[in-house]
């Protein structure tokens, strides 16, 4: 294992206009990650690509996928700036990602709201904050290799009962938690329960 993906100051990460910048949630997710050198990884919704760059320095192969074309370009630019391998695709969740992976990482849009503009795509998770996460979790098992796992950031901003329903097909382990002024964030490792693995 590469161990925890602690922030590497030597990486040169440039923020981009209309792309979600690295924030408290980004760094909590990064701190929770452990990825083996031989593992294949997908980061869903990479934003600037800060986590993708850390993963690319460690994992066997990394793909990043984002709905926002500006985030795709931003992540690509940050990978190249740091001389790191990795592929970045424009994709609405798994629509352009047919492969399977050992690890899928996602910091989803989790605030209640709608995506009225491009930047809102990064934070607006629907009326209950769970809509995008629920879609993701319904599809994710089909994109995991046997024994694979999802590492997912969650927030108390999400409606609790809807979130429990979305997480019910998975075995859950909490990895990290952080309380902020107005919310609590935590990261879980999810593995499909028996009978919920992808075909």
CATH fold of the domain at 24-192: Rossmann fold (3.40.50)
Residues of 21-38 as b/e, b for ≥16 C-beta within 10 angstroms?
Answer: ebeebbebbbebbebeee
Q: φ and ψ at 82, to 5 degrees?
A: -100, 5
Closest-CA residue to 76 (of 139, 166, 14)? 14
Q: Where do the structural domains in the chain lie, given as residue ranges?
A: 24-192
Q: φ and ψ at 177, to 5 degrees?
A: -145, 145
Reduce the DSSP state of residue 125 to 3 states and report it.
coil
Q: List all residues 6 or more positions away from 26 whose beta carbon is below 8 Å from its beta carbon.
A: 47, 50, 51, 107
- Weakly modelled stretches of the chain, pLDDT under 50: 1, 117-119, 199
Q: What is the pLDDT of residue 118?
A: 45
Q: What is the pLDDT of residue 27?
A: 94
Q: What is the pLDDT of residue 100?
A: 98
Q: Where are the beta strands (DSSP E) in 37-109?
A: 40-44, 61-66, 87-90, 101-106
Q: List all residues 6 or more positions away from 157 whose beta carbon is below 8 Å from its beta carbon.
A: 110, 111, 112, 129, 183
| pTM, entire model | 0.91
Which helix (H) or strand (E) segment holds residue 165: the answer is helix 160-167
């Amino acid at each position: 294992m590469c161990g925890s993906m602690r922030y590497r100051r030597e990486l040169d990460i440039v923020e981009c206009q209309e792309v979600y910048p690295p924030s408290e949630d980004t760094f909590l997710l990064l701190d929770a990650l452990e990825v083996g050198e031989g593992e294949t990884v997908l980061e869903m919704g990479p934003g600037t690509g800060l986590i993708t760059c850390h993963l690319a320095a460690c994992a066997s192969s990394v793909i990043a996928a984002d709905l926002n074309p500006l985030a795709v370009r931003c992540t690509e630019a940050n990978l190249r700036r740091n001389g790191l391998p990795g592929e970045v695709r424009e994709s609405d969740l798994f629509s352009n990602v047919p492969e399977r992976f050992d690890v899928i990482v996602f910091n989803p849009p989790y605030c209640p709201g709608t995506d009225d503009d491009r930047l809102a795509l990064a934070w607006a998770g629907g009326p209950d904050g769970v809509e995008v996460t629920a879609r993701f979790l319904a599809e994710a098992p089909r994109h995991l290799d046997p024994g694979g796992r999802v590492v997912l950031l969650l927030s108390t901003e999400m409606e609790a009962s809807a979130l429990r329903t979305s997480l019910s097909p998975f075995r859950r382990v909490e990895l990290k938690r952080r309380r902020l002024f107005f919310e609590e964030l935590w990261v879980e490792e999810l593995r499909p329960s028996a009978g919920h693995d992808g075909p």
